[in-house]
Amino acid sequence: LSGAPITAGAIDGLSQHFPACMLHLHRTLRSTKHLKHFGRLQYTLFLKGVGLSVEEALNFWRGAFSNMPADKFNKEYAYNVRHAYGMEGGRKNYRAKSCQQILLEHPPGTGEAHGCPYRHFSIDNLTVLLQKQMGVTDQAVLRGVKQDTEATKYHMACNRVFEYAHAAELKREKEKGQTFTTLTHPNEYMVRSWELKNP
């Protein structure tokens, strides 16, 4: 993010800019102090993609797993964080997952929080997440989301929520002649949200 080096301590505040998938991972991590493998991977790569350094990522995960003894974290989890940053094993530079990858790969099972809520949640659970965690109170928006998900247009539902959450900022941009382009990546969603709210 331009002008804002990201630290572990800044992530709670920045989560107001997250799309539903990452907000659900973040809130689950905060409430259970744990995430399963694919959730950690999806969230680690997202945070890496928005500029969290490997040192700050290790601080973040260490702090988040606060119920876990330090040696267990260091033995079983720190490796995976460093691996995601290309510092272990095959040293690949793994990229943050796109919406398409999240929608199609590894559907979440019981107790897992990864995936895309627009695709993987029931409409009732999705509505609760949108109302309680993302502040979507407009019934027309919620009805539109329901229709989008029923038509399997998950990214359209996500873009509908983005447009609702940034209506004033997008109106201002439109007046300046700038047009809204559809978001297809969680990182794009987060960066765009941050830029719109911090002009």
Contacts with ligand SF4 in 26-85 (CB under 6 A)? none
35 annotated ligand-binding residue: no
116: annotated binding-site residue? Answer: yes
Query: Quick check: 70 and 121 in contact, CB under 8 A?
Result: no
> Cα(23)–Cα(91) distance, rounded to whole angstroms?
28
Cβ proximity to ligand SF4, 39 vs 186, nearer residue: 186
Judge contact between 190 and 18, C-beta under 8 A.
Answer: yes
Q: Residue 21 or 29: which CB sits closer to ligand SF4?
A: 21
Here the contacts of 9-18 (C-beta below 8 Å, separation 24 or greater) are 11/47, 11/52, 11/60, 14/50, 14/190, 14/194, 16/193, 17/189, 17/190, 17/193, 17/194, 17/197, 18/186, 18/189, 18/190, 18/193
Interacting span for ligand SF4 (CB under 6 A) from 62-70, 79-87, 113-121, 134-142: 113-121
Phi-psi region for residue 111, left (φ > 0), alpha (ψ -120 to 50) or beta? left
Stretch that binds ligand SF4, among 26-34, 49-57, 82-90, 153-161 (CB under 6 A): 153-161
- Select from 2-10, 67-75, 122-130, 150-158 the region that touches ligand SF4 (CB under 6 A): 150-158
- The residue behind tokens 């991977």 is 41
Among 154, 164, 170, 192, binds ligand SF4 (CB under 6 A): 154
Binding ligand SF4 (rule: CB under 6 A), the pick from 134, 189, 191, 193 is 189
46 is in an annotated binding site: no
Q: How many whole angstroms separate alpha carbon 56 and alpha carbon 48?
A: 10
Residues that bind ligand SF4 (CB under 6 A): 19-21, 99, 102, 116-118, 154-155, 158, 186, 189
| Residue list for the binding site for [4Fe-4S] cluster | 21, 99, 116, 158
